[in-house]
Structures are given as C-alpha cells and as structure tokens.
Homo-oligomer: A and B are copies of this chain.
Amino acid sequence: MEEVKKEFGKHYLIELIGCDKEKIQFLKDVQEPFLQAARKSKTKILKHLFHQFEPFGVTGVIIISWSHFAIHTWPEAEYVALDILTCGEMDPEITIADLKHAFNAQEVNVKIIPRGF
C-alpha cells in the first residue's frame, strides 16, 4: 500500500467475482445484506440511498461519519463492485467477508488506497 503524509482514511476497492446472480439482481436481495454488513463494521450509519435498475442491477450508497460505502451489482456478469472509505476504528474486513458470503462470491480482490496528501 502506498503512503501519504497526512492520511484521512483508507479507501478499499473490492471486486466480488463469480457471485450468485440470483442474489444480486434486486433491491430486496441486496439492500438488507449490505446495510447489515455495514453495521457490523463498527460504524454508525447516518443515511442511505439505493436504486433499482431495469431489468436488474442495484446501486446503493451508505453515508457514515466522513466516510461511505458504495455497491454496484452487474448480475449478468456475476460481478459486484464494492467500495468502502474507512475512518477511525471501523473494520471493513467484516463487511467484505459478510458480503462475500451473502452473494456467494467465488473470488474477492481488494485494493487499499490511502486518502490524503
């Protein structure tokens, strides 16, 4: 991981690959697991917003203190792009593991980029 002199957070860019497409098509299947997984990372959710695409595919964002979670699903490719900008004591690994399980992902790639200057 690169370094910055003054770090304000770490940005996790996560690719969830080989997901069960039945589990990532609709809001009803994505929203609650995403919110639950975010809550388990020891953070407080301030606001959240989701969008259902037609015929399938979901985008969701969760605002936490000076940070966010975002998710985009591509059921036709069995792929989910997840990103987590962390702050303070939160533990994104729990969220990642939970969503890997929820969507039955076969492979997970994570990049961690420090944010700051």
| Residues A8 and B61 in contact in the complex (CB < 8 Å), given A51-B47, A115-B13 | no
**Can you list 13 A-B contacts with CB-CB less than 8 angstroms, sorted by A residue number?**
A8-B77, A11-B13, A13-B113, A15-B115, A46-B59, A47-B49, A57-B66, A59-B66, A61-B61, A68-B72, A70-B85, A79-B116, A113-B113
Picked from B51, B72, B79, B85, the residue with its CB within 8 Å of the CB of A85 is B72
Known: A8-B81, A47-B49. 14 other contacts (CB 8 A): A6-B77, A6-B79, A8-B72, A8-B77, A9-B72, A13-B115, A15-B117, A48-B49, A57-B66, A59-B67, A59-B68, A79-B117, A83-B85, A113-B113
